[in-house]
């Protein structure tokens, strides 16, 4: 019997080992076999929805100040009272909200917050006590609003210790606290987007934002200050030109910076003072890029500077292979005249190391001083005129959209046959307008007569708004 029992045990162990090694064998306590339906019915709850979300239990916050069950000491209550109530000037200054226990960095920050609050709420706040470590503020007589703040040794700042937020006073339409300095700081970005904003538009923006109506003089001062911050101090900028030139030569070798001054005497400076006379600068990369990769055509023009010191800003630009503007050199002179243009064109020619001017083309408007300067400094270059500037003179005597299109059709004529057809069309529309164009040299403004060496048939000046067509 013992032998048979041993054989049975050995057979059982062999079957168990085979079951462990057989991948097709499956025997799980979690599967329902035949005859086990009663186990399924007894252990499954059909009323439970498995897809229903499990609601998380409500978690009490870390600090509950109003919970009566908390047994806190006075020191702990004071600590929790001043926790997480710091005033953030970058975010909260536009529309301040005061609370007892709010911490400010210093009394100056609290003053600025009170000013912003007064403007937003359109109320007049009066500072009863205004000291470096203490500030008490009240509203008008009969209004319960009040605020008391003082130095706090625990936080190291100014803390609001008493505050009543209710107002019973009428709103104000004019506030002395809304100064031009505050208007400048608030609307500085508006003036960056529109530097020609009128006072009427500015007044409407202020009224919409603050519901107050400041006087015209305050708006004018705010606009002037905003433009000054945007453009900077012009006198200080001129005084830094020498430093800029030295840094340009040091950091960008090969660049050119030329500045000349003149001694001027007046009542304020009887001994005289140095004033800027001419200025020229160009960058080494621009000069090398134009000489190696751009067409041999130079567009020159000048524009009046509407600043305190006035003057004329001169520019010389080229055209890159993508027909985009490529800067070459810039200059500044006191007035636009023949001598000023001769100096600028001579400096550009020498700076670019041009010895033979025949391969180059110069394009400009018909300013008399500029025409004479080009003939003298770039004698062998082809000189073209901007058709847009020609049309401005043409429009003074001959108006109308038809004549405008005829003028541009003549200028864009690709060959002489097409040019004759366009001239006959204008002559049929208005003979006086056609005779006006006959006085112009066709080589200076008609595409059919341009030389093809520069590989450029652009008819517009570099300052034209349609140049980037």
Residue 62 lies in a domain: no
Q: Which position has the higher pLDDT, 267 or 98?
A: 98
Residues 321 and 381 in one domain: yes
* Predicted local confidence at residue 466, as pLDDT: 33
Q: How far is CA 294 from each of CA 213, 317, 370, 465, rounded to the nearest angstrom?
A: 56, 10, 23, 21
- Please report the pLDDT score of residue 453 as a whole number: 81
Same domain, 210 and 155: no
For the chain, state the CA radius of gyration.
Answer: 42
Report yes or no: 280 and 256 within 8 Å, Cβ to Cβ: yes
- Report the run of H or E that residue 372 belongs to, with start and end: helix 368-377
Is residue 205 predicted with pLDDT exceeding 70?
A: yes
In a domain, 50, yes or no: no
More confident site: 419 or 67:
419
pLDDT confidence tier of residue 97, bands split at 50, 70 and 90: confident
Whether 349 and 450 share a structural domain: no
Confirm whether 49 is domain-assigned: no
Q: What is the pLDDT of residues 224-270, one digit of tens each?
A: 999 888 888 888 888 889 999 999 999 999 999 999 988 888 777 77
Mean pLDDT of 311-340: 92
Whether 296 and 454 have beta carbons less than 8 Å apart is answered as yes
Q: Which pLDDT belongs to residue 418? A: 93
- Regarding whether 222 and 135 lie in a shared domain, the answer is no
- As a whole number of angstroms, the distance between CA 198 and CA 225 comes to 14
- Those residues whose C-beta lies under 8 Å from the C-beta of residue 86, and which sit 6 or more positions away, are 102, 103
Q: Where would I find the H helices in 142-261?
A: 180-186, 188-193, 199-210, 216-231, 234-239, 241-251
pLDDT tens track for 282-307: 999 999 999 999 989 999 999 998 87
pLDDT at 408 over 90: yes
Determine the straight-line distance between the first and last CA of the chain, rounded to whole angstroms.
Answer: 111
Count of alpha carbons within 13 angstroms of residue 233, beta-carbon side = 4
Mean pLDDT of 440-462: 80
Relative to beta strand 382-385, strand 361-364 is parallel
Pair of tokens at residue 78? 């004071």
Are 297 and 253 found together in one domain?
A: yes
Q: What is the pLDDT of residue 436?
A: 93
Provide the Cα torsion 440, 445, 448, 450; round to 10°.
110
Residues 227 and 237 in one domain: no
Instruction: Give yes or no: residues 371 and 295 share one domain.
Output: yes
Tell me the pTM.
Answer: 0.62
Domain holding 192, by residue range, is 180-231
Tell me, what's the pLDDT at 456?
79
Nearest to 203 by CA among 217, 187, 191, 219: 219
Check residue 234 and give its pLDDT. Answer: 80
Q: Which of the four pLDDT bands, split at 50, 70 and 90, describes residue 416?
A: very high
Number of domains comprising the chain: 4
Question: Cβ distance 437 to 341 under 8 Å?
Answer: no
Return the biggest CA–CA distance within the chain: 141
Q: What is the pLDDT of residue 186?
A: 86
């Amino acid at each position: 019997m013992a032998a048979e029992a041993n054989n049975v045990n050995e057979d059982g162990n062999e079957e168990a080992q085979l079951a462990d090694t057989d991948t097709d064998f499956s025997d799980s306590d979690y599967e329902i076999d035949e005859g086990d339906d009663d186990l399924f019915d007894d252990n499954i709850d059909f009323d439970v929805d498995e897809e229903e979300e499990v609601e998380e239990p409500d978690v009490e916050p870390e600090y509950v100040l109003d919970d009566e069950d908390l047994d806190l000491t006075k020191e702990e209550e004071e600590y929790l009272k001043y926790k997480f109530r710091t005033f953030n000037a970058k975010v909260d200054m536009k529309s301040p909200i005061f609370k007892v226990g709010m911490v400010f960095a210093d009394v100056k920050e609290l003053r600025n917050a009170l000013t912003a609050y007064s403007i937003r709420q359109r109320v007049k706040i009066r500072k009863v006590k205004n000291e470096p470590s203490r500030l008490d503020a009240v509203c008008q007589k009969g209004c319960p609003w009040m605020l008391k703040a003082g130095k706090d040794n625990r936080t190291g700042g100014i803390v609001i210790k008493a505050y009543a937020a209710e107002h019973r006073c009428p709103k104000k339409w004019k506030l002395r606290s809304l100064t031009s300095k505050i208007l400048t700081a608030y609307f500085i970005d508006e003036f960056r987007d529109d530097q020609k904003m009128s006072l009427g538009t500015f007044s409407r923006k202020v009224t919409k934002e603050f519901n107050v109506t400041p006087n015209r003089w305050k708006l004018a001062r705010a606009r002037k200050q905003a433009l000054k911050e945007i453009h900077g101090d012009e006198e200080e900028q001129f005084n830094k030109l020498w430093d800029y030139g030295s840094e340009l030569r040091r950091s960008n070798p090969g660049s050119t910076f030329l500045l000349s001054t003149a001694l001027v005497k007046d009542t304020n400076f009887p001994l005289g003072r140095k004033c800027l006379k001419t200025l020229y600068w160009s960058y080494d990369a621009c000069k090398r890029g134009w000489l190696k990769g751009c067409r041999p055509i130079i567009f020159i023009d000048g524009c009046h500077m509407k600043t305190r010191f006035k003057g004329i800003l001169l520019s010389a630009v080229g055209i890159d292979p993508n027909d985009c503007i490529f800067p070459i050199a810039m200059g500044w002179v006191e007035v636009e005249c023949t001598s000023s243009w001769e100096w600028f064109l001579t400096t550009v020619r020498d700076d670019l190391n041009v010895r033979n001017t025949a391969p180059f083309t110069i394009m400009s408007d018909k300013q008399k001083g500029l025409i004479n300067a080009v003939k003298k400094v770039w004698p062998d270059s082809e000189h073209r005129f901007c058709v847009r500037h020609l049309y401005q003179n043409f429009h003074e005597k001959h108006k109308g959209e038809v004549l405008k299109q005829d003028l541009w059709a003549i200028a864009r004529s690709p060959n002489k046959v097409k040019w004759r057809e366009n001239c006959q069309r204008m002559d049929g529309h208005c003979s006086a307008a056609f005779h006006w164009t006959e006085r112009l040299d066709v080589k200076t403004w008609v595409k059919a007569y341009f030389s093809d060496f520069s590989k450029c048939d652009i008819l517009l000046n570099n300052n034209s708004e349609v140049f980037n067509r």
